[in-house]
Amino acid sequence: MKGWFQQLDRERFALAAYCLGPKQSEETLYACSRAARFEQGARGLRQWVATILEAQPDVLIYPEIGMDPMTVKLASLRLAPVQVAAWGHPETTGLPTIDYYLSGETFEPPGAQGHYSERLVALPHLGCFVQPSNVGPAVPDAGVWGIDTHAPLFLCPGAPFKYAPEHDRIFPEIARRLGRCRFIFFTHWLSGLSEKLRRRLESVFGRSGLAFGDFVTFIPWQDQPRFFGLMQRADVYLDTIGFSGFNTALQAVECGLPIVTREGRFMRGRFASAILKRMGLAELVAQSEEDYVALAVRLARDIQYREHVRSRIAASRQVLFEDLAPIRALEDLLVKT
């Protein structure tokens, strides 16, 4: 979204922004500074409907539909002649009131229109204008969490709901082949979800004859400097299979951290693979779970290969950032609708 506020031609388009919650941050303040109209606060459905209708928008874009109840209610109504969903929630809305779905061409497989009730618009490349985070990393004190930094470190930063049970076995299989390594997970602010994941992994390690505590550590959620410090210290980023990471994968690329991913059937499972393919690193996209395990093991064992991958990431990552092609394509869509 930030790319829209930064780069859409303000001589041609006036942006009105509606923030449905009361929380303010640097991002909401920036959006307010760039919008012709900015409305924010905890309001009821009727109030938000009246506010939006008063502005008479030509096009209404929902960054996500499906995670916030008020967004779903508003999106179920016809509040503008053209209504669009983007991939903050990465699957079709199924709503007859939403006309278009914004995605990225590198996210979508052949025949992807069949996955959407809306008309699919695959904007060029990653479909968005993003900038490097430019975070100054903080040196992590791994000893506080009892992590042996001499063992290969796998970073597993996905939210707990992204880890599907059918893929749990990849972790003990990697551990069995390496014999010594450490998987670092992060305790979600909804700690009950992380606890369910922890119990599941403990069970699958036990069934594999391995001691869970010898290989897996859950650490507290980290601020960005410490998270970036961990990514710079880790050896491999393990992407979640079936529900890939996007922001975290971009951050890993910024830190030169090799990514292992497996391309999914739907857009939500293809974010990291799209990033890697855009950089010319398709070799890091596994074709099966067996390939995923083998690639993770190779990157952990083969220091020379891992450093080769790091250097290729550093040489090619700029192609991901400050790409104006998706913005120009979005402008064309807005004019045509």
Task: Encode pLDDT of 123-145 as tens digits.
Answer: 999 999 999 998 888 887 777 78
Position 149 pLDDT exceeds 90: no
Position 95 pLDDT exceeds 80: yes
Distance, CA of 42 to CA of 122 (rounded, Å): 33
pLDDT tens for each residue of 59-76? 999 999 999 999 999 999
Is the Cβ–Cβ distance between 71 and 53 less than 8 Å? no
Read off the pTM: 0.94
Give the pLDDT score at 145. Answer: 81
More confident position, 148 or 86: 86
Is the Cβ–Cβ distance between 126 and 146 less than 8 Å? no
Q: Tokens 């969903």 map to which residue? A: 85
User: May I ask the CATH architecture of the domain 142-320?
Assistant: 3-Layer(aba) Sandwich (3.40)
Give the pLDDT score at 314. Answer: 97
Average pLDDT over residues 109-124: 97
Quote the percentage of the chain above a pLDDT of 70.
Answer: 100
Instruction: Quote the mean pLDDT of the chain.
Output: 95
Distance, CA of 81 to CA of 223 (rounded, Å): 41
Give the pLDDT score at 141. Answer: 76
Give the pLDDT score at 56. Answer: 96
User: Candidates 3.30.70.600, 3.40.50.11380, 2.60.40.420, 3.40.50.1220; correct CATH number of 2-131+322-336?
Assistant: 3.40.50.11380
The boundaries of every CATH 3.40.50.11380 domain in the chain are: 2-131+322-336
Average pLDDT over residues 282-305: 97
The boundaries of every CATH 3.40.50.2000 domain in the chain are: 142-320
Distance, CA of 213 to CA of 216 (rounded, Å): 6
pLDDT tens for each residue of 191-231? 899 999 999 999 999 999 999 999 999 999 999 999 999 99
Average pLDDT over residues 87-100: 97
Angle, CA of 146, 134 and 314, to the nearest 5°: 85
